Structures are given as C-alpha cells and as structure tokens.
Copies of this chain bind each other. A is one copy, B any other.
C-alpha cells in the first residue's frame, strides 16, 4: 500500500481535518474510492468552490458568496439590534432559534493575548464604525462564556457605551433540559442571581 501514493496522500489530507485520526482518515479515503468518479469530482469541486467563492459580508463579516450576507440583505430584519458573535457558526446557532430578528456582527475571533490575538485582528473597528454611523439601538455581546469571551465582551462594552448605545450580555443559567445535579457551582450561582419572577 506504500506504493499507492495517491491513496496515502488522500489519507494525509483527511487526517488534517480537526478531530480526525489516521483510522478515520483511512475510512474516509476508502469511501471516496468506492464512490463513482462523478461523486468524487463533485466533492473536490465543492472544496474549491467554498474556498474560492466564500467571502465576508461587507457589513457584518458573516460568510457569504455575494456582497452582502442574506441577513444583512433582508429588508425585514431590525438593523438597530446587533448581536456580536465570535464566529459565523454562532450566527447559524442563533438563526436556528428562529426568534432573533436583529442583525449580527461577526468578530472572527476573540481577544486572546495568549494566542497573540489583539483587538486590531478582529472586526472591532468595523463594529465601531457601524455604531458611529448611527441607527444602532442595542449591541448584544453574544461571545462564549469563556475567559476570552468575557474579556472581549467587557472590552467592547467599554468602547461602545460612550457612543450612547445600549450594551447587553447573554443570560447565564441552567441549560434547558439540563440537570441541576451536574451544573457547576458558578453556573448555579449565576442562575440564582439571574432568577426571574413567575
């Protein structure tokens, strides 16, 4: 099999995907070999298309293959409410709730001095420009509840508040369907703190 270089190379490529080891990569490669050639072509083309055609929305930084992402291009969205997220995947997560009608701002990362990521590498300048241009009523800090997520939210709040915009943060609490027994104490404390009247 050492001689079947194209196969070895494909296994190597699959093994580079996040969370994929040698065995899984091998399974993927054999799946490709067992597909009709047409299907393998489609797969290869999809990789090229995604990499070459996808770019960032010129307003919010979300991924799109046009000038504006479908959310910024939609007329019925409330552009005065901006949900600030780390990643385009977070946009997908919020869109799945089908409840949020505002728009987004994708930071493409979080401030993380340990990884050498400072504010200037994120789309913070663009966010400030959006707010300064007017029309934004509230900015929701929807970064992950990690150290970096919190720090980035705090940093942004300090920049945005002087511009006269309301800055809010996602609620902390017990996940729906979760189990109190398994909740960590910080989450429980936050859930207590944030309790609401019934």
Q: List 26 A-B contacts (CB under 8 A).
A: A1-B62, A1-B88, A2-B70, A3-B69, A3-B73, A4-B64, A4-B65, A4-B69, A4-B70, A5-B65, A6-B49, A6-B50, A7-B63, A7-B65, A9-B50, A10-B49, A12-B46, A13-B42, A17-B31, A18-B28, A18-B31, A32-B51, A40-B47, A40-B48, A40-B52, A44-B47
In whole Å, how far is A47's beta carbon from the nearest beta carbon of chain B? 4
Chain A interface residues toward B at CB < 8 A: 1-7, 9-10, 12-13, 16-19, 24, 26-33, 35, 37, 40-54, 62-66, 69-70, 73, 88-89, 91-92, 95
Question: What chain B residues lie within 8 Å of A89 (beta carbons)?
Answer: 26, 30
Report the minimal beta-carbon distance from A145 to chain B, rounded to whole angstroms.
Answer: 19
Given contacts A46-B10, A51-B37, contact A63 B4 (CB under 8 A): yes
5 A-B pairs besides A3-B70, A41-B51 with CB distance below 8 A are A1-B95, A4-B63, A10-B46, A12-B46, A13-B43
Contact (Cβ within 8 A) B46 A6: yes
Which chain B residue lies CB-closest to A72? B3
Given contacts A4-B54, A43-B47, A44-B44, contact A63 B10 (CB under 8 A): no
Which of A50, A54, A62, A66 has the most C-beta atoms of chain B within 10 angstroms of its own C-beta? Answer: A50
Q: Determine which residue in A5, A7, A27, A62 has the highest number of CB atoms from chain B within 10 A of its CB, and name it.
A: A7
